Amino acid sequence: MLRLRIRRRQRDSVYADCPICGDKRGKMNINLVKNVFRCNYCGESGGMIALRAKTSGTSNAEAYHDILKALGTNRAGDSDAYIARTNLSRQSFMLRETWTRSAIPNAEPASEIDIHGTLTAMLDLLVLSRAHRAQLQERGLSDACIERFGYKSTPRPDLCLSLTNELIKQGRVVRGVPGFYIRGDGKWTVRFNPMTAGVLIPIRGYNGLMKGAQIRLDSPIKDKNEKKGKGTKYLWHSSSGKHMGVTSGSPAHFVGDRVARTVYVTEGGLKADVAYCLTSRTFVAVAGASNTGQLGVIFSMLAKNGVRLIIEALDMDKRDNAMVEKGAARILELARESGMEARRLTWDPTYKGIDDWQLAIKRSNAIAV
């Protein structure tokens, strides 16, 4: 009914352009097993009826009957309860069955330890180019921080097979690790290509284990239909949509003191790393302002470990971007629900991110000295 534009396909779900916020980067996930959707950009979520209601500006009741009418099931005398149990569920089942028969098989995610071990070993086999090192230094990172965090340049595509073979030779698990998949000739490889060349940014959890990686692209990817904006600058290193591939999801990143009493929340792993190196404060980074779904669990864990204060430090476009403001408000709400105090941090809006602001202060102090 909505004629959604599908961007990526997985075993049980698809990623499509969001018809609610209008974002055209395939940020909305539609789960065909659970019959739910969530846009990872604007944060809207719900079931099929809610999706129809939000896109048509109608009530859930009206959206429900619109769907029934489209299915040709809203006949006189039909029971709403019966229709809900049979027609809608049958339609969903048929969609799922049709999709499953043609879907590319994905692997189940490997264990946390195996993912960490394989990705860490992969980084050890890679190098960081001079150009990428200079870019990171320009962002405010010292060589010591660059080495500590393990940033590396993405490898040439022709090295993917040999890189994977070396990891397998080391005894590393590649099945179920984000980025790895089986190519057409039956051999395991890792997904890198010229369009996604850039800097690999390790994403680590509170336990210090590497959960995945983002790529800061050398050349942002811009959709041909996207007239405004600079395009996508960051991508998750994932093999979703490839044979026996797996998605990395959008894990939150932690950097700093595990027993800190105050934790700052910002967006983007690289931004958090830079801010930590410039301030020595502890940070949690979400993938985007609206990616707050994991914070409830993380905040509960932080509260149990002694954190008393959460400081929301999202980019300053929260002043005029409704979606960023919504994410900022949600961070404060989740922190208080977990029993912690929550505050908002603002600064000179000339500087978009907390990392930009702190870098400007550092450079200003250096000039003054």
The yes-or-no verdict on residue 78 having pLDDT over 80 is no
Domain-terminating residue out of 45, 67, 102? 102
Calculate the dihedral angle through the C-alpha atoms of 257, 294, 303, 267, rounding to the nearest 10 degrees: 40
The pLDDT of residue 228? 61
pLDDT digits (tens, 9 = 90+) for 329-362: 999 999 999 999 999 999 999 999 999 999 999 9
Domain-terminating residue out of 68, 102, 136? 102
User: Domain residues for 316?
Assistant: 253-368
26 domain residue, yes or no: yes
Burial of 98 (0-12, 13-18, 19+ CB in 10 A): exposed
**87-103: average pLDDT:** 50
Better pLDDT: 270 or 74: 270
Domain-terminating residue out of 209, 236, 263? 236
The pLDDT of residue 97? 46
The yes-or-no verdict on residue 252 having pLDDT over 80 is yes
Largest CA distance in the chain: 83
The yes-or-no verdict on residue 21 having pLDDT over 90 is no
The pLDDT of residue 48? 86
Better pLDDT: 158 or 248: 158
pLDDT digits (tens, 9 = 90+) for 140-185: 999 999 999 999 999 999 999 999 999 999 999 999 999 999 999 9
User: Are 160 and 190 spatial neighbours (Cβ–Cβ below 8 Å)?
Assistant: yes
State the CATH number of the domain containing residue 202.
3.90.980.10
pLDDT bucket at 92, cuts 50 / 70 / 90 = low
State the CATH number of the domain containing residue 273.
3.40.1360.10
Q: Are residues 270 and 364 in the same domain?
A: yes
Express as a percent the part of the chain with pLDDT over 70: 88
What is the overall mean pLDDT for the chain? 87
**229-237: average pLDDT:** 82
Q: Are residues 98 and 121 in the same domain?
A: no
In the sheet that holds 198-204, the strands lie side by side as 152-153, 198-204, 210-221, 232-236
